[in-house]
Structure 1
Amino acid sequence: MGKLNDILEFKNGKAKKTNHGNIPIYGGNGVLGYCSDSNFENVLIIGRVGVYCGSVHIEESKCWISDNAIAGLPKKSSYNYYNYYLLKSLQLNNKQVGSSQPLLTQDILNNIGVQIEFDKEKQKRLVASLLAIDQKIELNNRINAELEAMAKTLYNYWFVQFDFPNEEGKPYKSSGGKMVYNSILKREIPEGWNVDRLQSYINFKRGISYKSNEISDIKGKEFLNLNSFSLKGEFKIEGTKYFIGKYNQESLVSSGGLVVAITDVTRNADIIGKAFIVPNIFEDGALISCDVVSITSERLNKFYLEQLFNSTYYHSYIKYYASGTLVLHLNLNGINWFNAILPPVGLLNQFEEFCKPILKKKAVILKENKQLIELRDWLLPMLMNGQVTVK
């Protein structure tokens, strides 16, 4: 037996604004943005406050840890991936203090008693299988990112550059297709295309409110929340929580539904307004938190809206409808009042047919990741408490 301060030194993070650097800024829910300098390297990141209190991440390279997280630095006698999996096994969210605002402190972490393997080589052997599973999950994530990039590329080509196929199958604008000036957007769009506010074409369904004791990491109904969104708007399976309270069936969002983040804890509003399509990996769909809304439309299909909501142009507009201090909240009028280009239905249908198989391929990979995560989480406590040994 030992205490966490036998293998880790804990330090508080510090507030940091994002800029154009490539060094990740970490908060309790993972990467919040990027900057050009660092305050830690080869470090664990532990959520310090709020809904992500007790979450654990690891970063081998240089990074910046923000003030809503605690840094865990390995002491010489410890292997940091062992420390990472050990902390993951402790369910640190159960060690927090405070009801209205959950909190973890260095003092709490320092004094947690736990069974520790102090031999560094044995530490490496213990977590080798867990690390291999996580590396496979990361490889799958990169494959899905490449699939997503294919849909984004075609969206930009057709609906931003307006080089969709004309009647002869040639790029419309590049081949001299007629463009007309639109006074609302103050730029040219293809002849025959329209522009209108989204409010005439979309419907919202809000997510459900919850208490911290109704959320679980391991059991219950799948619960999509703010941590389900990457900075780019992609679905993060590792952000899935589970709801163990009571709910109505009408609150479920079916697989294939479009969901949008309407709160944000990043300092640059990186996630606010971002969207993803719920993958077909949840039986009977999933619940969404009050930080999320689902959006439906008869005129504009979900594949077009997903790419629109995740575009740089749209995000530079929508983030100004978010307000708050520690947590940003989106005024839904910002979505309603957005002047969107309305492409012809036939072209939207072609885009949908291109994106459908991509969504299916991504779901297959996500299902594999879901199984890998379940295997990892099953092995984790047994390896850490000595029920399973590795020679």
Structure 2
Amino acid sequence: MIKNKLKDISLSISSGLTPLRSNNEFWLNGEIPWLKTEQLGEKYIYHTNEHITKNALNKTSIKINPENTLSIAMYGEGKTRGNLSILKSPMTTNQACCNVVIDPSKAHYEYIYYYLKTQYEEIRNLSSGVRKNLNSNDIKNYPIRLPSSLDIQFSIANVLKSLDNKIELNNRINANLEAMAKTLYDYWFVQFDFPDANGKPYKTSGGKMVYNQTLKREIPEGWTTEPLTKSCDVVDCLHSKKPDFYNESEDAYLLQLDNITDSRQINLEQKYFVSKHDYSEWTSRIEVKHFDIVMTNAGRIAAFAQVPKGIRCGIGRNITAIRPNNIKPNYFYMSLSGNDIQKQILSNLDHGAFFKSFNVKGIKKLFLTRPIDNIESKFEELISPIIEKRNAALAENAKLASLCDWLLPMLMNGQVTVKG
């Protein structure tokens, strides 16, 4: 391995700027992409949330960064500082982004991207000042370890890129599957055009609708609403002190708020392990399993996910488990994201002195819509394969991410080699 400083293998290293916000000629109808650090973290950045005008480019010192520039967050909220991405189209950035154009005759930009990913904590620790910001000199002088040839760099980057590409493909497949599931649910239970006895769309074909006092809207004749507690068990977490982290067994861990994603999935990249004794105590009320719903009570209020096949674990603080019993589990899962339930959640929030929450008391006040004539079962038959395919892709992604996390530092420090 050859040691260099980042500036020695770069054509340029510079930060951007923010054109004067009050000057409309810099922003109004802008067409030039302008990136902020809040978007950094994904491997590739293709588009930006904001744009500036040609006047901003001509009348300030801001520069357009070329495709394949590495952009590193020098400051930002929470974990943002130290995040990096590859810019996949020419764009400008704000002053919090340090933009590195790698010299292709000396290094491969994707290899440097992966190398810097392994240095996330080390780069963050370079920050200084009250606000803990990085500066461009820190990044310019950051040490880089390079294999002896560009061919080896390229080969290493390709190995890691192939894993990332498969993960991205699965993400795109999942996005399509989730769109299919939502479309199917909306067609049956929002538009009420499920197949009637003659196989025709119910409401469009003149199926009778009646006003429901609980939901304050019409639903098909014969359908009912019932308390969630009639068909589900609602189990609160323990409210004792959070147990210490202790990796005694791979099977003894508690879900934390961060494990429940905004996309309604369970992410187990970071598990909170506890002792077997603590695990036994924290699962005394429930050990969640396939089809159970876990829902956050505070922080990100009422974020929820369905526990996929193969997972059994406990729930940590500020999480409630909901176990469907006398209701089809995937119909129940889809119902939770529907407008009826979401409106009920908002109306049942607990407004505390400092923040809002959605606790067990509020969950037990929710009402579910129950169809008749095996409609729920027929929907379950259609929706289950879609959700199973999504969960399989998520499980594969978790394995690929774990493999990448293991392989990345091994490749970067030379413990694992590939042929150039």
Do these two structures clear the TM 0.5 threshold for a shared fold by scoring above it? Answer: yes
Q: Residue in 1 aligned with 2:121?
A: 92
For 2:369, which of 329, 332, 341 is the aligned residue? 341
User: Do structure 1's residue 132 and structure 2's residue 157 form an aligned pair?
Assistant: no
Equivalent pairs: percent with the same residue?
A: 29
Letter in 2 for 1:305: F
For 1:241, which of 270, 281, 284 is the aligned residue? 270
Q: Residue in 2 aligned with 1:298?
A: 325
Letter in 2 for 1:262: N
CA shift, 1:274, in A, is 3.5
| Higher mean C-alpha displacement, 219-228 vs 306-315 | 219-228
CA distance in 2, matches of 1:124, 1:303: 44
CA spacing shift, 1:374–1:162, aligned 2, 3 Å: same
CA spacing shift, 1:311–1:181, aligned 2, 3 Å: closer
Could you report, residue by residue, the CA deviation over 1:196-226 in whole angstroms, capped at 9, with x for unpaired residues?
4435544134379757x8389xx77565444
What secondary structure sits across from 1:189 in the alignment?
strand
Could you report, residue by residue, the CA deviation over 1:120-166 in whole angstroms, capped at 9, with x for unpaired residues?
77644432211111111110122223223332222111111111222
Q: Residue in 1 aligned with 2:99?
A: 73
User: Do structure 1's residue 141 and structure 2's residue 171 form an aligned pair?
Assistant: yes
Structure 1 segment 1-391 matched on structure 2, within 5 A: 1=3, 26=38, 36-37=49-50, 43-44=71-72, 56=83, 58=85, 60=87, 71=97, 73-77=99-103, 81-90=110-119, 92=121, 105-106=133-134, 110=138, 115-117=144-146, 123-202=153-232, 203-206=234-237, 210=242, 214=245, 221=252, 224-235=255-266, 237=267, 240-246=269-275, 247-249=278-280, 250=283, 252-264=287-299, 272-282=301-311, 285-311=312-338, 314-315=341-342, 318=345, 321=349, 329-344=357-372, 346-390=374-418, 391=420
Could you report, residue by residue, the CA deviation over 1:306-340 in whole angstroms, capped at 9, with x for unpaired residues?
21222355446535737699987434444333343
What secondary structure sits across from 1:116 in the alignment?
strand
Show structure 2 runs of 5+ residues with no match. Answer: 19-32, 53-64
CA spacing shift, 1:117–1:314, aligned 2, 3 Å: farther
| Higher mean C-alpha displacement, 190-199 vs 127-136 | 190-199
8 Å contact from structure 1 (residues 224, 241) kept in 2? no
What secondary structure sits across from 1:106 in the alignment?
coil
- Structure whose alpha-carbon radius of gyration is higher: 2
CA shift, 1:348, in A, is 1.9
8 Å contact from structure 2 (residues 297, 320) kept in 1? yes
CA distance in 2, matches of 1:331, 1:225: 16
Could you report, residue by residue, the CA deviation over 1:249-298 in whole angstroms, capped at 9, with x for unpaired residues?
4263213322223344xxxxxx642332222244xx23444353321133
8 Å contact from structure 1 (residues 48, 104) kept in 2? no
Letter in 1 for 2:380: E
Could you report, residue by residue, the CA deviation over 1:13-46 in whole angstroms, capped at 9, with x for unpaired residues?
99xxxxxxx9998479979xx9942699953458
Could you report, residue by residue, the CA deviation over 1:51-89 in whole angstroms, capped at 9, with x for unpaired residues?
x588846363689999xxx75532544765434422432
8 Å contact from structure 1 (residues 53, 96) kept in 2? no
CA distance in 2, matches of 1:44, 1:221: 36
8 Å contact from structure 1 (residues 44, 71) kept in 2? yes
CA distance in 2, matches of 1:380, 1:263: 35
CA shift, 1:371, in A, is 2.9
Q: Residue in 1 aligned with 2:28?
A: none
CA distance in 2, matches of 1:64, 1:277: 40
CA distance in 2, matches of 1:151, 1:193: 22
CA spacing shift, 1:44–1:220, aligned 2, 3 Å: farther
CA distance in 1, matches of 2:42, 2:344: 25
CA shift, 1:381, in A, is 0.7
| Higher mean C-alpha displacement, 186-195 vs 146-155 | 146-155
8 Å contact from structure 1 (residues 222, 241) kept in 2? no
| Higher mean C-alpha displacement, 134-143 vs 70-79 | 70-79
How many residue pairs are counted as aligned between the two chains?
362
Letter in 1 for 2:99: L
CA distance in 1, matches of 2:315, 2:382: 27
Letter in 2 for 1:261: T
What secondary structure sits across from 2:163 in the alignment?
helix
What secondary structure sits across from 2:335 in the alignment?
helix
TM-score with structure 1 length normalisation? 0.70
